[in-house]
Amino acid sequence: MKALFRLLFLSLALLSFVGDQASKYGIFRWLYNDGIGDQKQVVDGWFCLRADYIPNGPEGDCALTTWSGKILPRVNKGALFGLGNEHEHRSNFFFACVSVAAAVFIFVWGFRKAGPKDRLLTFSLGLILGGTLGNFYDRVVFGGVRDFFDFYKIGFPVFNVADCCLVVGAFLLLTQAIFFTKPEQAPASGEETKTAFAVQS
């Protein structure tokens, strides 16, 4: 049974990672628009899908290879929802290192805890691992994270599928900690032990 939940943990992580990368490559290709970028309204006046590119950007390690050649996508070098993006290269390197450490920790934790008694924990860690790896891939390949969900009406930071996996996973992890973690029973004090012994006698 434990092996089944470990498989579930790894499958969720893989699906989250693949879904994130497929959506990024798909959206940025769809909205390529000859390297200019574009946006498609999903809810008029509120929400759109967008892909931004750097006009006449240099080709290099961060270039996105498309059917039309290589182009440099505009990326978020900061953390979740653009936090720390103003520091650019230092931020990207720092958060890439944090992603590696987090991925290793979550992988070990997920393998140890995956089981019937920790279903919610298994789901949450699988989503968090997949989201972490999705954004880490972007940091290594593109020098930053590709974002495309834009709730521009409320000025919310642009985000992606990996961010969604991280937020949902964190919410499930918090739910597990608050509602499904049984408190450890405190050991009986000396007086309680004596009373119990007297009753048994």
Cβ-contact 124, 114 below 8 angstroms: no
Q: Which of 52, 118, 147, 150 is catalytic?
A: 147
Q: Is the pLDDT of residue 172 over 90?
A: yes
- Give the residue extent of every domain in the chain: 2-182
Q: Which comes out higher in pLDDT, residue 115 or 155?
A: 155
Between strands 37-43 and 47-52, the pairing is: antiparallel
Tokens matching residue 140: 């290594």
If pLDDT is split at 50, 70 and 90, which confidence band does 59 have?
A: very low
Q: What is the pTM of this model?
A: 0.80
Integer angstrom CA distances of residue 180 from 50, 115, 120: 39, 14, 9
Summarize pLDDT for 85-130 with one digit per residue, the tens.
Answer: 555 667 888 899 999 999 999 999 888 866 667 788 899 999 999 9
Average confidence score pLDDT of the chain: 82
Q: Which of 20, 138, 150, 163 is catalytic?
A: 163
Is 163 considered catalytic here?
Answer: yes
Q: Is the pLDDT of residue 171 over 50?
A: yes
Spatial CB neighbours of 159, under 8 Å, sequence gap ≥ 6: 80, 81, 147, 149
Strand, coil or helix: what is 129?
helix
- Cα separation, 131 vs 167, whole angstroms: 9
Is 138 considered catalytic here?
Answer: no
Q: Is the pLDDT of residue 64 over 70?
A: no
Burial class (CB in 10 A: 0-12, 13-18, 19+), 100: middle
Q: What is the pLDDT of residue 106?
A: 94
Spatial CB neighbours of 155, under 8 Å, sequence gap ≥ 6: none
Cβ-contact 101, 124 below 8 angstroms: no
Quickly list H helices, 46-142. Answer: 89-113, 119-142
